[in-house]
Amino acid sequence: MPGRGGRFEEYWPVDIERLRPNDSYGRMGEIRRERMRFYRDGEGRLREELVERVPCPVCGETPCDVEFEKEGFTFVRCRACGLVYVNPCLKDELVTQVYKHQSYSDIMRSLMEPSAAYRRERFGVERVQILNRFVRATHRPGRRVLDVGCATGFFLEAAAADGWEACGVEANPYQADFARQRGLNVRNETIEESSFEEGSFDAVTMFEVIEHVKRPMRVLEKARALLRPGGMVFVYTPNFDCAERLLVGTEAHFVWGSNHLTYFTADTLRGALERAGFAVEHAETQGLDVEDTIWHFEHAGTHDMGFARAFRHELQFLFNAGGWGKNLRMYARRPDGPQGPAAAHGGA
């Protein structure tokens, strides 16, 4: 899949020290490993009473092949549509608990709070620019956006400052409270639980959310129902074909079986969106592959990363342009007509 292309002068670098201050990335990993003890028995296997086998979350087929195992979780590839997903995975009630548990709040507090201002000015502003580029209602009064899994609300702040009526849903109570304390319109619920009026939004955004849900097709179809005809959905998710995974393998930080349940590529994400009744208009990759690879090898003490550090922005630009960026972005439109979901799917 082609990346953004363009010129290097247009590349937006990321200040990794402001994004992840005080080794918050490392702290997040420690909290995550601590939580993993709950899911495994004394021999490191997942406790059978906590998991269940599932069909493909996108196409509903069951034949699959094992790709690899990590931390007790098995990652498989669907033979029908090619999606990589966790199987068996945690039961529904445990998936819900993951995002309401104090340990997840601790992870988000260590990562999000110190970097909230930077995330708003760097990513919030960029995302609003993208929104305005693609949404037809940009100049209409009352334009509305729903951010699914809005976390602490840095994107909502940027959207509201630009004139959008910005709403959010967030499953984690700590993050929802943190957002509401800053005056943002955020509900502590999932999009599936929400009671927004159908056809009431011009845009629905999902930034690093769809990989967390057990039934992504339900989420995409609910997003489609909430959009006005011609409205847009914006999906960001880890790119399974990214440079970081190709360089460090299953040690890539985003390979996280308890929380990241589905692993999309450009082809499988496009297939899911089309199956949900969307028409894809744009796809690209961006990422922090070089920064994350540097972090991995420096913490392991196995490689001299001086060259990669010196040319990290140039290398990342090339990864992005080649479609190997860690962050897969796809923007799709709800057709103007009454078209419904393209086909039956798993997770119904």
Examine the pLDDT at 239 and tell me if it is beyond 90. Answer: yes
pLDDT tens for residues 309-322? Answer: 999 999 999 999 99
For residue 344, what pLDDT is reported? 39
- Please give the model's pTM, rounded to 2 decimal places: 0.89
- 347 pLDDT exceeds 50? no
The SS3 assignment for 199 reads coil
Per-residue confidence (pLDDT) for residue 15, from 0 to 100: 87
Check residue 189 and give its pLDDT.
Answer: 95
- Has residue 135 got a pLDDT over 80? yes
- Tell whether 3 is covered by a domain: no
What six digits make up the tokens of 308? Answer: 């990669």
Of these ranges, 36-45, 134-143, 209-218, the one predicted with the greatest mean pLDDT is 209-218
Q: Is 348 a residue whose pLDDT tops 80?
A: no
List pLDDT tens digits, range 247-290: 999 999 899 999 999 999 999 999 999 999 999 999 999 989 99
Average pLDDT score over residue span 181-203: 96
Is position 338 within any domain? no
- Tell me, yes or no, whether 164 lies in a domain: yes
Ramachandran sector of residue 323 (left: φ over 0; alpha: ψ -120 to 50; beta: rest): left
Positive or negative, the CA dihedral 31, 91, 346, 77 is positive
Query: Is 174 inside a domain boundary?
Result: yes
Residue 6 has pLDDT above 60, yes or no: no
Q: What is the mean pLDDT of residues 47-57?
A: 96
| Mean pLDDT within 25-40 | 78
Answer yes or no: is 119 within a domain.
yes
Interhelix angle 125-134/154-161, nearest 10 degrees: 60
Indicate whether 232 belongs to any domain: yes
Q: Which residue has the higher pLDDT, 182 or 9?
A: 182
Q: 12: domain CATH number?
A: 3.40.50.150
Phi, psi angles (nearest 5°) of residue 147: -100, 115
* Backbone dihedral region for residue 211 (phi beyond 0: left; psi -120 to 50: alpha; all else: beta): alpha
Query: Given this model, what pLDDT does residue 38 score?
Result: 83
Where helices occur in 76-146 by DSSP H, the ranges are 92-100, 102-112, 116-119, 125-134
Q: Is residue 2 part of a domain?
A: no
Domain holding 90, by residue range, is: 8-333
CB 117 within 8 A of CB 153: no
Q: How many domains is the chain partitioned into structurally?
A: 1
Does residue 339 lie within any of the structural domains?
A: no
pLDDT digits (tens, 9 = 90+) for 75-95: 999 999 999 999 999 999 988
**Local confidence band at 148 (pLDDT 50, 70, 90 cut-offs):** very high
Q: Which of the two residues, 72 and 99, has the higher pLDDT score?
A: 72
Q: What is the DSSP string of 293-346?
A: HHHHHHHHT-S--HHHHHTHHHHHHHHHHTT--SEEEEEEE--SS----SS--T
